[in-house]
């Protein structure tokens, strides 16, 4: 695909229609393609136009290269022109003002204008400095010098220093606005949830966005005080969980249930049964709220504990291991007074929390190991 200026020879007997199949001669190569007119449906003989040449085979083209166009059949020369961009993004005619501005920069802009345009066109995917060099024909220290002013002036953002990945500052700002809007919409639709999963937020933003750019957007919004990041969740700074009256009562009752149950809590279907007068969906939502608020800890798919119960048993395990050095499952069952149904999930939880580590059939303190 090439952005180019095209002159349609006056000797042609009929207008050139949009997307006409043609033969493009560039250097020694002949490539089949289609001439896409970016302004009108057809081009009169003797006229010129901004075009995209959609080629059926790759070619190497630099800004300023000349090309000739011949008709598909019968074969004769119908026009030609100069290449502006050998690696453009695809353009749509409905964005005519933007296309006109782009081609104005191609014709009249400085090298810096052209560099900024290419980076802006790359959108959230960004453009590496090497790729930019290939597009504008400027390399090494000369390109470094060209980029100094827009980088120091924050018109460009260096997202990845190792790859020298550049993104237009307006693109970054637009991503921040989009992320904030998505969070606001999520909070409106889910007032009982503490926050939005970072991965879910990422999936709602442009797919082409570089991973490091997503992390940078989050850091920028946290730094500005617009967003709060809590482990795997993000939320607007002013968001607080909002519960209706019945949901508030359910939350109080459910927390009391877990607190009183200690290390032998009900499993999920028993929780639903204990609060049978409430909609099961609401029960699940309140349980999720308690987990997000870290009041309750999810240990397995069906087993949840109040954090105070887990903190207390963890302290007992640490004390035991500091004095005895190791502990097997049977010793833990005796320490906690639990059956295997509860003791094994708790032991596995302590391993995941990096409090203990399993060595054979025993546990030791991870810090000692």
Q: Where are the domains of the chain?
A: 2-85, 110-167, 171-234, 245-305, 308-365
> Is residue 265 a contact partner of residue 303, using CB atoms and an 8 Å limit?
yes
Question: Architecture of domain 171-234 in CATH?
Answer: Orthogonal Bundle (1.10)
Model pLDDT, residue 91: 74
Contacts (Cβ under 8 Å, ≥6 apart) of 303: 265, 267, 342, 345
Q: Which residue has the tokens 């995917």?
A: 125
> Is residue 165 a contact partner of residue 122, using CB atoms and an 8 Å limit?
no
Structure tokens at 277: 């007068």
CATH code 1.10.10.10 for 308-365: yes
Residue 47 host element (H or E): none
Model pLDDT, residue 94: 64
Model pLDDT, residue 244: 65
Model pLDDT, residue 170: 94
Model pLDDT, residue 369: 52
pLDDT in tens, 317-336: 999 999 999 999 999 998 98
Separation CA 306–CA 182 (nearest Å): 32
Separation CA 128–CA 130 (nearest Å): 5
CATH number of the structural domain 245-305:
1.10.10.10
Separation CA 88–CA 76 (nearest Å): 28
pLDDT in tens, 195-209: 788 888 899 999 888
Give the rounded distance of the alpha carbon of 274 from its chain centre: 41
Separation CA 258–CA 265 (nearest Å): 6
Taking the CB of residue 252, how many other CB atoms lie within 10 A of it?
12
Could you tell me which CATH class the domain 110-167 is placed in?
A: mainly alpha
Separation CA 347–CA 342 (nearest Å): 9
Contacts (Cβ under 8 Å, ≥6 apart) of 50: 3, 4, 5, 6, 38, 39, 99, 100, 103
Separation CA 41–CA 35 (nearest Å): 11
Quote the crossing angle between the two packed helices 245-261 and 307-324, to the nearest 10°. Answer: 20
Mean pLDDT in each 10-residue stretch from start to end of the chain (369 residues)? 92 94 93 92 93 91 91 93 83 72 84 90 90 86 93 92 92 93 86 81 88 90 88 81 71 92 93 88 87 91 94 94 91 90 93 92 81
Identical fold, 245-305 and 308-365: yes
Tell the CATH topology of 2-85. Answer: Elongation Factor Tu (Ef-tu); domain 3 (2.40.30)
> Is residue 306 a contact partner of residue 262, using CB atoms and an 8 Å limit?
yes
227-248: b (≥16 Cβ within 10 Å) or e: bbeeeebbbbeebebebeeebe
């Amino acid at each position: 695909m090439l952005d180019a200026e095209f002159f349609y020879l006056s000797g042609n007997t009929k207008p050139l229609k949009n997307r006409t199949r043609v033969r493009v001669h560039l250097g020694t190569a002949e490539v089949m393609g289609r001439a896409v007119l970016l302004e009108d449906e057809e081009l009169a003989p003797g006229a010129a136009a901004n075009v995209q040449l959609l080629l059926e085979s790759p070619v190497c083209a630099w800004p300023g290269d000349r090309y000739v166009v011949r008709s598909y059949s019968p074969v004769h020369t119908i026009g030609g022109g100069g290449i502006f961009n050998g690696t453009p993004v695809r353009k749509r005619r409905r964005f005519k003002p933007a296309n006109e501005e782009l081609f104005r920069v191609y014709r009249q802009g400085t090298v810096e204008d052209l560099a900024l345009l290419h980076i802006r066109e790359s959108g959230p995917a960004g453009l590496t400095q090497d790729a930019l060099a290939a597009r504008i024909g400027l390399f090494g220290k000369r390109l470094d010098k060209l980029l100094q002013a827009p980088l120091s002036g924050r018109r460009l953002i260096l997202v990845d220093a190792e790859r020298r990945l550049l993104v237009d500052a307006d693109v970054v700002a637009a991503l921040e606005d989009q992320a904030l809007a998505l969070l606001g919409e999520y909070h409106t639709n889910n007032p009982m949830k503490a926050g939005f999963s970072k991965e879910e937020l990422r999936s709602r933003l442009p797919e082409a966005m570089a991973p490091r750019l997503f992390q940078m957007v989050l850091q920028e919004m946290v730094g500005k005080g617009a967003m709060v990041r809590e482990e795997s969740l993000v939320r607007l700074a002013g968001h607080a969980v909002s519960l209706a009256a019945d949901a508030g009562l359910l939350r109080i009752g459910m927390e009391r249930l877990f607190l009183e149950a200690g290390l032998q809590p009900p499993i999920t279907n028993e929780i639903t049964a204990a609060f049978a007068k409430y909609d099961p969906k609401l029960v699940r939502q309140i349980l999720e709220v308690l987990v997000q608020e870290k009041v309750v800890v999810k240990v397995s798919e069906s087993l949840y504990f109040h954090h105070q119960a887990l903190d207390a048993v963890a302290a007992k395990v640490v004390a035991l291991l500091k004095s005895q050095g190791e502990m097997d499952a049977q010793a833990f069952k005796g320490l906690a007074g639990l059956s295997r149904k509860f003791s094994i999930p708790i032991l596995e939880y302590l391993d995941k929390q990096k409090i203990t580590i399993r060595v054979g059939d025993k546990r030791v303190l991870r810090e000692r190991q």
